[in-house]
Amino acid sequence: MKRVLSLLFVLFSATLALSAVHEESVTFPSGSSKGMGFLVVPEGKGPFPAVVVIQEWWGVDSFVKGQARALAGQGFVALAVDLYHGKVTSKQEEAHQFMNGLDRDQALSDLEGGVALLAARSDVRKDRIGSIGWCMGGGYSLALATEEPRLAAVVAYYGMPPSDPAKVAKIQAPVLGNYGADDQGPSPEQVKTFEAQMKKDGKTIDVKLYAGAGHAFANPANPWGGYREAAAKDAWARTTTFLDANLKKK
């Protein structure tokens, strides 16, 4: 059933992305190393707004690629940065090992390299680059916002928010958060604390806690059976509306 749902989601994403006519694997500088990713470019001349797409702990799998294609179908250049450099798994134990073995500084360097790659492209509006991530990637989307002032919009799906007020204070971009009210990693209390700190600092944030939804509620291949279709559709509508408002404005 999980495989069937995953296939249906990929097909649905492909339908959304009919106008995304070009995709390729790319590499780019990342500190003294190299980053890599999956790039999808919409139809047309551009320049387009762009989004850095950040994986769950499984890697850059069919779900992440489907989300990148869907965003390209909405008129964004989408770059799914491959933090595992080619490694993908559907096994929880292996995903846990991959995530725990990920060097945080190198991951952030890869993500900043992805932003730089997008900003250097002639078909990208360099002042209209955002980020989006799910689970581990949601946490990295927020972490990137504390380090990368070029971001103009940040979306986090059930990602662990920064708890250090000094880090929160460095976030310049508006933030959209989609979280499960039944999730415990992060918990609703942690999310609300982050939201309160953002508002205390006078920053723009919009958080929604979905009743009856736990972790990874937006992924049809959720191995814990936690996919919630209504919440996933609402969160995606919120996401595209938010990205349109912040990245497509003149």
pLDDT computed for residue 7 by the predictor: 41
Is the pLDDT reported for residue 32 higher than 90? yes
- What digits encode the pLDDT tens for the residues 159-179? 999 999 999 999 999 999 999
pLDDT computed for residue 45 by the predictor: 87
- What digits encode the pLDDT tens for the residues 207-248? 999 999 999 999 999 999 999 999 999 999 999 999 999 999
SS3 readout for the chain: CHHHHHHHHHHHHHHHCCCEEEEEEEEEEECCEEEEEEEEEECCCCCEEEEEEECECCECCHHHHHHHHHHHHCCCEEEEECCCCCCCCCCHHHHHHHHHCCCHHHHHHHHHHHHHHHHHCCCEEEEEEEEEEECHHHHHHHHHHCCCCCEEEEEEECCCCCCCHHHHCCCCCCEEEEEECCCCCCCHHHHHHHHHHHHHCCCCEEEEEECCCCCCCCCCCCCCCCCCHHHHHHHHHHHHHHHHHHHCCC
Q: Please, what is the average pLDDT of the chain?
A: 93
pLDDT computed for residue 11 by the predictor: 42
Q: Where are the domains of the chain?
A: 2-247
Q: Quick one: fold of 2-247?
A: Rossmann fold (3.40.50)
Is the pLDDT reported for residue 84 higher than 90? yes
